[in-house]
Structures are given as structure tokens and as C-alpha cells.
A and B are shown apart, each in its own frame.
Chain A
Amino acid sequence: NAGVTQTPKFQVLKTGQSMTLQCAQDMNHEYMSWYRQDPGMGLRLIHYSVGAGITDQGEVPNGYNVSRSTTEDFPLRLLSAAPSQTSVYFCASRDKINTGELFFGEGSRLTVL
């Protein structure tokens, strides 16, 4: 059982480049979300989705796009990377019932030069 899988694990970009962080889950969870984690800031919600075709903004959505075409996948797109987007990104999913438990991936470390 793979759980939540994120790729790539590491990425270095130059300012202005674009890229997509991939997230896939095999638990049939309706809810998926993206967080970024920075020192001293904890986890901050970027975007989330409550099902295929439905997405909404979190606390820090600027500079990021998402889409949800399937239940399994929830990619995060950076259209024009900036140094301020250097961070560790986590994808998380859970069942639609609010039991509280988010299942996280291993994280993707992004550096923007």
C-alpha cells in the first residue's frame, strides 16, 4: 500500500522556470491538499480539493495552480518560479469524513535560484 506518493523528491529551478509537483494517492480519498513548510512557519495550506473537478484556495495560494481531474491525482503547478517559493512541499489526503487524520507524502524539496 503506497499511500501518498510525491515526485520529484528534490528539484532545483531557476527564477522564472515552471514545473509541476506530482501527487498521487491510492486510498480513494476525496480530499487532497498541498502544504508548504518553511522554518518557523509550520505547514501552510496552499490549495485543496474536495473531489474531482473541485479545488479551492488555502492560506498562501499566490504563484501556484492546481487541478483535480481524477480522484487519485492532485498536481501543483508553479508557472514562474520565484526564490520565495523555495520550500518543502507536502501533499496530504484524507477521507471525506472529518476524522482529522491527514495522510502525508514524504515531501518535495524545491530550491529556486
Chain B
Amino acid sequence: QKEVEQDPGPLSVPEGAIVSLNCTYSNSAFQYFMWYRQYSRKGPELLMYTYSSGNKEDGRFTAQVDKSSKYISLFIRDSQPSDSATYLCAMTLGTGGFKTIFGAGTRLFVKA
């Protein structure tokens, strides 16, 4: 079993839709939770970063962490064609966090 599970999609939605992306994990020691966005043929870029359970909002993006269920989510409101990309969840252990483990990535298409 992989430490981090993420549905690879693809997920196709119309412009303006609310998008929900999710990951589950098995290691309860994970403390830092991140979402990266990767455009085609580019390296991933950090989108959102959270440390504890709860919600964190940044513009149209909301990251949600539920440590009791070992479940994290990313919500995108008013999705735009420019949001079309692969979204990867990632997690690290505390104290140094030298191993960042990624999910498989979900490919998102937002149709105009």
C-alpha cells in the first residue's frame, strides 16, 4: 500500500465549477501537508501549505486537512481554464521533514 493515495483522474469540469481534489494517507506521523500544481512539461510549483488540521484559504483555493481521518482536500472555486494542470498532494514528517512524499497527482481539465 502506498503511503499517499490520490486518484489520478483525469477530472474534467466546465469553467466556473467548484473542484474538489483529495488525498488519503496512512502514516499518522505526517505533519506538513502541501498541494503542488504542475503544468505540462514543467516542474511542480507550491500552491498551498498547511501544518495542522483545519482549513486554509488563499483566493480561490482552500486547503483542508483532517488528521483524524488521514484525509486532505483542495477546493478550487470559480475554476478557470488556466487552472488546467496536474495537482499533486505532498506530505512531510516533522523535525527536518527531509522526505517529502507525493501522491500520484490528479490531472484537471477546465473547459471554457
Contact = CB atoms under 8 A, between A and B. Distances in A.
A43 B86 CA distance: 12
A105 B41 CA distance: 11
Nearest to B104: A42
A2 interface: no
Contacts of B96: 50, 96, 98
Interface in A27-44: 31, 33, 35, 40-44
Interface string A39-75: 0111111001010000010110000000000000000
Contacts of B101: 45, 59
Contacts of B44: 43, 90, 102, 104
Interface residues of A, number: 27
B35 to A, nearest CB: 10
Contacts of A48: 98-99
Nearest to A105: B43
A45 B100 CA distance: 8
B99 A42 contact: no
A100 B90 CA distance: 9
A96 B103 CA distance: 23
Given A42-B105, A101-B46, A58 B99 contact: yes
Interface in A78-107: 90, 92, 96, 98-102, 104-107
Nearest to A102: B100
28 contacts: A4-B43, A42-B88, A43-B44, A43-B88, A43-B90, A43-B102, A44-B102, A45-B100, A48-B99, A50-B98, A58-B99, A90-B44, A92-B43, A96-B96, A98-B32, A98-B94, A98-B95, A98-B96, A100-B34, A101-B46, A101-B49, A102-B100, A104-B45, A105-B43, A106-B41, A106-B43, A107-B41, A107-B42
Interface of A: 4, 31, 33, 35, 40-45, 48, 50, 56, 58-59, 90, 92, 96, 98-102, 104-107
